Amino acid sequence: MRRDVDTLHQDLLQTRLQDISRGFDAVSDPLGRAMRDAVLSSGKRFRGMLLLLAADASGGVGETMVDAACAIEMVHAASLVFDDMPCMDDAALRRGQPATHIAHGESRALLAGIALITEAMAVLATARGADGATRAQLVRILTRALGPQGLCAGQDLDLHADKSDAGIEREQDLKTGVLFVAGLEMLAVVKDFDAEDKDQMIAFGRQLGRVFQSYDDLLDVIGDSKALGKEPGRDQAAPGPKRGLLAVADLQQVSRHYAASRAQLDAMLRSKRLQAPEIAALLERVLPYRASA
C-alpha cells in the first residue's frame, strides 16, 4: 500500500474520531475517558480503512464516508468492550492494554459500550455532506447490522448454540461479517451504486467476515499475547460449548479452510469497485495468505 494513502486515511479517521470524542465527557468525565480509551486506542482500524479505500476507488472520500467509517469504528470498539467482559470472553487485555472493564470497572465499561453505539448513530444521523434521506438510510443499515438479526444474534449463537459447520458460518456472518457488510452497504448508498455493484459489495463483505473470523479462530490457538495484544486461548477456555471453527474441525482442517476462503476473497477483488492495489495490500497485511502469529 502506498504510504501516503495509508497515512492519509489513518489521519482522516483519527482526527474525526478525536473530534467526535470531545463530547463524550459532557456530563461524566470518567465515562468519557472510558469511551475515549476504547475508541482511540491503538489498532488497525481495519473496518474504517477498508471503507475509505473502497470509497477512494469509487470516486473519492468525502465527509459523509469519513463519518460512516467513524461510526463503524465506534460500534466495533463497543463490541470489543462487551466481548471482553467477564460474562462473555472474560479477557483482561485488548490491543496490549487493560480491557475497558479492567481499567474502568464493569459498570462503566457497560455504559461506555452503550454510549459509543448511541453516539455512532448520532454521527450518522448528522453525517456531514449528506441529506436527510441518506442519513436515515445510513442509520437504518447500521441499526439492522447490530440488532437481533445481526451482531447481537451472532454473539448469542457464538456463546450458547451447539456447533456445526453451517452454524459456525452463520455465526461468522452475523457476529463479524455484518459490520463489513454494513460499511459497504453505506458506501453503496452514498455513491449510488446500481443493484449489481451493491450485491457484489454485500457478497464481498460477507466473505471478508468469514475469512477474518477464521483467521481470528486460528490466532486464538497459534498466536501469542505480545503479537496479538490480547490473551490467546480464550475460545477454548470459555465456559459453555466450544467456540469458532475449532469446535467442529482440527487445526489443520481450519488452516486449509482459511487458505481456501482467503483465495475466494482475492477472486472477489476483481469487481470493478474493489480493483485498487491499496485494498489488496490492506487485506494482505491484516489477513496474510499463510496463517501465523
pLDDT, one tens digit per residue, over 2-58 is 557 778 889 999 999 999 999 999 999 999 999 999 999 878 899 999 999 999 999
- Per-residue pLDDT, 241: 64
On whether residue 217 sits in a domain, the answer given is yes
By percentage, how much of the chain surpasses pLDDT 70? Answer: 92
Q: Are 47 and 73 in contact (CB under 8 A)?
A: yes
Burial (Cβ within 10 Å: 0-12, 13-18, ≥19) of residue 88 = middle
Residue 25 in any domain: the answer is yes
Tell me, yes or no, whether 232 lies in a domain: no
Please name every residue paired with 107 in a beta bridge, in sequence order, or none if there are none.
Answer: none
Residue 1 pLDDT? 45
What's the DSSP call for residue 271?
Answer: S
CA 60 and chain centroid, separation: 22
pLDDT above 60 for 215: yes
Residue 235 lies in a domain: no
- pLDDT value, residue 24: 97
CATH of residue 191's domain is 1.10.600.10
pLDDT confidence of residue 277: 93
Q: Is 293 a domain residue?
A: no
Residue in this structure with the C-alpha cell 490491543, named with its chain if needed: 95
Distance CA 124, CA 193 (A): 19
Q: Please check whether residue 18 lies inside any domain of the structure.
A: yes
Residue 220 confidence class, pLDDT cut points 50, 70, 90: confident
Confidence of residue 240 (pLDDT cuts 50, 70, 90): low
Round to whole Å and give the CA distance between 245 and 215: 10
Report how many domains make up the chain: 1
For 163, the domain range is: 5-227+241-286
100 is a domain residue? yes
pLDDT at 213: 94
**85 lies in some domain:** yes
Q: What is the C-alpha to C-alpha distance for residues 120 and 45, in angstroms, rounded to an integer?
A: 15
pLDDT, greater one: 122 or 242 = 122
